[in-house]
Amino acid sequence: MSRKILFFLFFFLVSCVENLVHIQIFDNGSFSVKYNSIGNKSDLIDNDFMHPVSNDKHTWITSLSQKNESGTENIWEKETILSSPTKTKLTFTNPSNLQYDIDVSRNSYFFWDSYIFQSNIRNLEIDLKYPEIVNYLDIDEDDLSWLVPAKRYIFSESMKVFKEKNMIDEIIIDRINNQIDAYISYVEEKDYEKEFSRKSSEIFIDALSPMKRQLPKNFFLNITLIIDGIEKEFEKNTNLMLDGFTFSVAIPGSLRNTNATFVSELDNTIYWDFDFNDIATSHFNMYAHSIVINNLSLQLFLLIILLAFIGFICKKRLKKE
């Protein structure tokens, strides 16, 4: 069974989208990059993990196709490839997506060529942005218990923003908070998965509907705009929660040092696997170093040494005669 099929089966069992990034390093130090994301079409279009797009420096070619494997009618594959190899460091700094770089360097010496691959995935800073919910993120992805603290966070932050922009009695604030707490407690006793999968602003309005006459004029209109904005920012930072990543690098020569997850001895390809938990609060750095022996230079050097040695022996014999 091919590695690609194995990755696909792994995705189908445990992840929402599996993202594969393959870097091929060539002998001259240039490299090509290919992205493959496999998952539901809606997830691929939503750009949980954005593939590169063309700019004035590089041209990227993207395609989207449906998988043909039996029983995978809703599974699609998005592929993006770099149109031609490059020697330039690739840096992706889109603040609304994963931020990382890909860098390959080649240094030539008389006896060997040295290749170094480095890629640094910037952490999502979930612990700094959402300290109230970070402890709920390191859970099994099928466990939806993180939904409750996530919604609580969005509601709480929205009310803080509303208070900064509007005059509202503290008594009303307390009543709103109590009503939200009561509503969440009620929903938790039932099937909260369906309830909390809705937009936060809809849940908030439903929760406060019993006391809507006590609320300020245009309260729901103003708070909806605030909640939707905070929820969008939250989703931007957590939409990779169910995604998995595999970076693979085919590097020339003999591998000397790497922090890879797995090294294939068959084709000298090295692999790194990571997911949301690995980059939520910490950087994820990848490194590999290999060398290619310059056999011609080495043979020439040995030949020179051999000829020098033979010359020395011959000269010594001539002196004796």
Question: pLDDT for 90-145, tens place per residue?
Answer: 999 887 778 999 999 999 887 779 999 999 999 988 888 777 666 666 555 445 56
Regarding whether 201 and 53 lie in a shared domain, the answer is no
Regarding whether 294 and 251 lie in a shared domain, the answer is yes
H or E segment to which residue 79 belongs: strand 75-82
Residue 108: predicted pLDDT: 86
Q: Which residue has the tokens 């008389």?
A: 110
Distance between CA 34 and CA 44 in Å, rounded? Answer: 16
Residue 279: CB atoms within 10 Å = 21
Asked whether residue 257 is domain-assigned, the answer is yes
Single residue among 238, 254, 274 that ends a domain in this structure: 238
Single residue among 238, 255, 290 that ends a domain in this structure: 238
Distance between CA 149 and CA 138 in Å, rounded? Answer: 13
Asked whether residue 311 is domain-assigned, the answer is no
Regarding whether 247 and 217 lie in a shared domain, the answer is no
Asked whether residue 313 is domain-assigned, the answer is no
Asked whether residue 306 is domain-assigned, the answer is no
Regarding whether 149 and 7 lie in a shared domain, the answer is no
Asked whether residue 87 is domain-assigned, the answer is yes
Distance between CA 42 and CA 129 in Å, rounded? Answer: 27
Asked whether residue 310 is domain-assigned, the answer is no
Regarding whether 192 and 46 lie in a shared domain, the answer is no
Regarding whether 216 and 156 lie in a shared domain, the answer is yes
Closest CA to 149 of 209, 205, 196: 196
Q: Do residues 38 and 75 touch, judged by C-beta distance below 8 A?
A: yes
Domain ranges, residue 248: 3-124+241-299
Q: How many helices (H) and strands (E) does the chain have?
A: 10, 12
H or E segment to which residue 32 belongs: strand 31-40
Angle at 35 between CA 5 and CA 234, to 5 degrees: 105
Tokens of 64: 């989207």
Distance between CA 32 and CA 86 in Å, rounded? Answer: 7
Regarding whether 287 and 222 lie in a shared domain, the answer is no
Tokens of 78: 């998005």
Residue 9: predicted pLDDT: 36
Q: What is the pLDDT along the chain (321 residues), one digit of tens a residue?
A: 344 434 333 333 444 788 999 999 999 999 999 999 998 887 787 666 889 999 999 999 999 988 766 555 678 899 999 999 999 999 998 877 789 999 999 998 877 799 999 999 999 888 887 776 666 665 554 455 677 788 888 899 899 999 998 888 889 999 999 999 998 888 877 766 667 778 899 999 999 999 988 898 899 999 999 999 888 878 777 777 778 899 999 999 889 999 999 998 887 899 999 988 889 889 999 999 999 877 666 566 666 777 666 766 776 666 665
Regarding whether 248 and 108 lie in a shared domain, the answer is yes
Residue 317: predicted pLDDT: 66
Asked whether residue 318 is domain-assigned, the answer is no
Residue 19: predicted pLDDT: 93
Closest CA to 279 of 118, 98, 58: 98
Distance between CA 203 and CA 151 in Å, rounded? Answer: 9
Single residue among 238, 261, 281 that ends a domain in this structure: 238
Tokens of 159: 């009310």
Residue 302: predicted pLDDT: 66
Domain count along the chain? 2
Q: Do residues 193 and 146 touch, judged by C-beta distance below 8 A?
A: no
pLDDT tens digit string along 249-282?
999 988 999 999 999 888 789 999 998 888 988 9
Regarding whether 136 and 225 lie in a shared domain, the answer is yes
Closest CA to 28 of 112, 117, 115: 115
Regarding whether 144 and 7 lie in a shared domain, the answer is no
Beta strands at 17-25 and 243-250: parallel, antiparallel or unpaired: parallel
Distance between CA 282 and CA 311 in Å, rounded? Answer: 62
Regarding whether 9 and 120 lie in a shared domain, the answer is yes
Asked whether residue 72 is domain-assigned, the answer is yes
| pTM, rounded to two decimals | 0.72
Distance between CA 2 and CA 24 in Å, rounded? Answer: 18
Q: Which residue has the tokens 């996530």?
A: 150
Closest CA to 242 of 38, 87, 21: 38
Angle at 267 between CA 264 and CA 272, to 5 degrees: 40
Distance between CA 220 and CA 230 in Å, rounded? Answer: 15
Regarding whether 13 and 118 lie in a shared domain, the answer is yes
Residue 12: predicted pLDDT: 36
Q: Which amino acid is at 252?
A: P
